[in-house]
Structure 1
Amino acid sequence: MPPPLAPLLRFLPTLALGLAGGAVAFAVNLPLPWLLGAMLATTVASLAGVRLRSPGRGRQGVLVVIGVMLGSAFTPEMSGAPGPWSLSLAVMLVATAAMMAFSVWFSQRVAGHSRETALYAGVPGGVSTVTLMAMASGADLRVVGMTHAVRILVLLVAIPPVLEAIGHVDLAGARPEPARWLWLPGSADAAWLAAAGLGGAWLGRRLRLPSALLFGPALVSAALHLTGVTHAAVPPTLLALAQVLIGVSVGVRFAGTSLARVGQALVMAVAQALVLLALAVLAAWLGHLLTGISAAAALLAYMPGGAPELSLVALTLGIDPAFVTTHHLLRISVLVLLLPALLRPITRSQS
């Protein structure tokens, strides 16, 4: 068997479970069915001890596709956005600082983790970058990974009821008509989308962007759509598959997690995530009052972490994905730049 095919074949049972979970969720009219169905099915299986495989490099391809899709939300008609967006970005940064301060305090003082573990676990976003940085430190990687995974899980599960409560969003109306599942872009549009994905992935790595495979294609696709070079969209079937793969990526993070052994850590992570959700709701309401931007869009933009997941939710539900993506790009960029400075005092105290 050729080496590239072996990981794919090992991942197929996990993918099948995710697709089955999404199909069941779709059949019972669960909001965000492909994402939440796949995520919940694989999370339950992981916690039950079933050995599931991560998408591996497949997730990288999904990030590129999501980036291209997000870029298609930027249109020439957005010329009036900079004013309210600038104020909203400022609100988001203040809210992010408050969330991180609470997370670090909670992780250290309430959950009893070390200062280094508390800092990495408390960063509200950039899970991939944060995990890589934590690997070169004395932080407890299990706690860091679990805290981020639980946070994303809690936020995604909470999105439908919270949006319906504050955003007046018709979640059922976000489903495409049956005929739309078979829609495909024309050959020229498909070529532009492919060019945006491949060129954006190269550019993102070249510029060393945070989440380069997500934000690089998003920037190139946005440039093509803002200039009117193309108005192409991504097929709904591909969007649903992207949701399944992202949902599976969240669920398999709990593989090897024993409820009996890490029960307290899970409870602490859930409690922390719920408080952060409450802070995000308050910040979104403030952002809505100050800028007039919908509370639903502000909530998805201000939620702490999970840029691919939350941007994909915004795209799926049609809740200003360009606005949400811009906020998450700025948040991750600021966190990546500031995190080394925040870690320096801890490093000095341990030397």
Structure 2
Amino acid sequence: MNTPRTARGRGITCRASRLVAWAAVLPITVVAGELGEPAVPSSHMLIPLLLGLAIALTGRMRDHAPAVLNRTSQVLLGVLMGTYLDLSALGHVAGSIAPLAAVTLVTLLLCQAAAFAMARLSGVDRATATLGMIAGGSAAAVASAEDLDADGRLVAFMQYLRLGFIVASTPVLLSWIPSRPQEGTGTGARGGAGGPWHLVSGHDQVWGLIVLAAVALLGVLLGPRLRLPSPAMMGPMLVSAVLTATGLAGGFAPSGMLRTLLFTMIGLDVGLRFSRRAVRRLRRILPAALACTLAVSAACAAMAWTLSAVTHIPFGDTYLATTPGGINAVLATASSAHANLPLISSVQSLRLFAMAFLAPLLIRLTVHRSRTGGATR
């Protein structure tokens, strides 16, 4: 007969064994991500996701991340996202702020239309379709899926399908467009200084880690009080954005090995949730996901052409600014192409914030409408 004390002891043992298993697997996936970095986009998320999927399908380890690791990754991701808000970059494109804001709004509407089509064509739920089709912030979409009652596996599949398409097609398209000398004050190097063994982006590692801990703690406390969606991620993101925008603090963004571990944990967590049944479902939704991805990408390219004609900004810059790929991949491509980094980082950052805050609200609104509609019928 199991007593409460015995059951509690087994629960502690189970949690400890999961932590040990993750401690053993994480270094392997980190090394695999490093090896794949030259050839694979977002390698520190995509490769752990694929390795986690392979491990899950063997049946040797199939479980989501321990709660402490899952919550920590959401908090750190929120802090990192907040540091993308760069007011100095926005100042460089102040004259074009109205059309840029309009492009951000239209992109949001396009993503909603694609999510509606995805839900109708493939049968996935609206929360999963919305997060899967949302443009920008792929890591945030995947990390917040569980909090928003979405299927993180399908969200990751749709997000990385689009990211792979954008990363593969953008260099080909840019090769057809004449390059020009870089303008502005480059803001594309988001990785921070000091190499992979630094943990934060500033030179003073001790002070940066102290600020990071304070921002994370304050964000975790404020998120639920402000009733933010996905408070573990949105709270730290809001605090980090305020400190970055006002210049009160800097050099605390997760960088180097800490950032690598962050993305590895998110990718591995998603991969380990897969099953053979989930993989079969991916094959069924692939045609719809690919069609929606191509439609959103083509519409964003058309917006880039229109924006270029209206503002007289080179098409290569407007394309990179409006393309629905991940912000890190886009900024890396823009830097190598000598593009207008202040413009591109500004538009991508604005969209990242808009999508991160509005996606949970849109999910709740559409789910509520669908439930009330079903109740009425």
TM-score (norm 2): 0.68
Residue 22 of structure 1, CA deviation = 0.7
Residue 199 of structure 1, CA deviation = 1.1
Residue 191 of structure 1, CA deviation = 1.6
Distance 1:237 1:163 in 2: 28
Distance 2:345 2:66 in 1: 26
Alignment partner, residue 157 of structure 1:
164
Alignment partner, residue 199 of structure 1:
218
Task: State the AA in 2 paired with 1:89.
Answer: A
Q: Considering only aligned residues, what root-mean-square deviation do their CA atoms show, in Å?
A: 4.0
Distance 1:254 1:167 in 2: 36
8 Å contact from structure 2 (residues 142, 155) kept in 1? yes
Q: Does 1:220 align with 2:239?
A: yes
8 Å contact from structure 1 (residues 176, 236) kept in 2? yes
Residues 1:333 and 1:119: Cα distance change in structure 2 (over 3 Å) = same
Percent identity between matched residues is: 22
Distance 1:79 1:180 in 2: 27
Residue 196 of structure 1, CA deviation = 1.3
Distance 1:267 1:254 in 2: 20
Which deviates more from structure 2 when the two are superposed, residues 57-66 or residues 5-14? 5-14
Alignment partner, residue 49 of structure 2:
39
Residue 25 of structure 1, CA deviation = 0.5
Match of 1:103 among 115, 120, 128: 115
Structure 1 segments unaligned to the other structure (5+ residues): 135-140, 304-309
Q: Does 1:12 align with 2:33?
A: no
Residues 1:32 and 1:350: Cα distance change in structure 2 (over 3 Å) = closer
Match of 1:89 among 90, 95, 101: 101
Residues 1:280 and 1:25: Cα distance change in structure 2 (over 3 Å) = same
8 Å contact from structure 2 (residues 167, 329) kept in 1? no
Aligned partner of residue 195 in structure 2, secondary structure: helix
Distance 1:83 1:63 in 2: 35
Residue 91 of structure 1, CA deviation = 1.9
8 Å contact from structure 2 (residues 117, 292) kept in 1? no
Residues 1:332 and 1:221: Cα distance change in structure 2 (over 3 Å) = closer
Residues 1:164 and 1:201: Cα distance change in structure 2 (over 3 Å) = farther
Residue 68 of structure 1, CA deviation = 2.4
Distance 2:113 2:56 in 1: 31
Residues 1:83 and 1:38: Cα distance change in structure 2 (over 3 Å) = farther
Task: State the AA in 2 paired with 1:208.
Answer: R
Which deviates more from structure 2 when the two are superposed, residues 121-130 or residues 202-211? 121-130
Alignment partner, residue 235 of structure 1:
255
Residue 163 of structure 1, CA deviation = 3.8
Residues 1:34 and 1:86: Cα distance change in structure 2 (over 3 Å) = same
Distance 2:190 2:355 in 1: 30
Aligned partner of residue 196 in structure 2, secondary structure: helix
Alignment partner, residue 120 of structure 1:
127
Task: State the AA in 2 paired with 1:246.
Answer: I
Alignment partner, residue 63 of structure 1:
74
Distance 1:261 1:77 in 2: 45
Aligned partner of residue 64 in structure 2, secondary structure: coil
Distance 2:47 2:24 in 1: 15
Residue 268 of structure 1, CA deviation = 3.8
Structure 2 segments unaligned to the other structure (5+ residues): 1-8, 135-140, 183-187, 336-340
Distance 1:158 1:182 in 2: 31
TM-score (norm 1): 0.73
Alignment partner, residue 269 of structure 2:
249
8 Å contact from structure 2 (residues 64, 272) kept in 1? yes
Residues 1:56 and 1:350: Cα distance change in structure 2 (over 3 Å) = same
8 Å contact from structure 2 (residues 62, 273) kept in 1? no
8 Å contact from structure 1 (residues 47, 256) kept in 2? yes
Q: Which structure: larger Rg?
A: 2
Provide, for residues 252-301 of structure 1, a one-character-per-residue CA deviation record: whole Å limited to 9, x for no partner. Answer: 343443545763234444444444444444445555655646532432xx
Residue 76 of structure 1, CA deviation = 5.4
Distance 1:63 1:311 in 2: 18
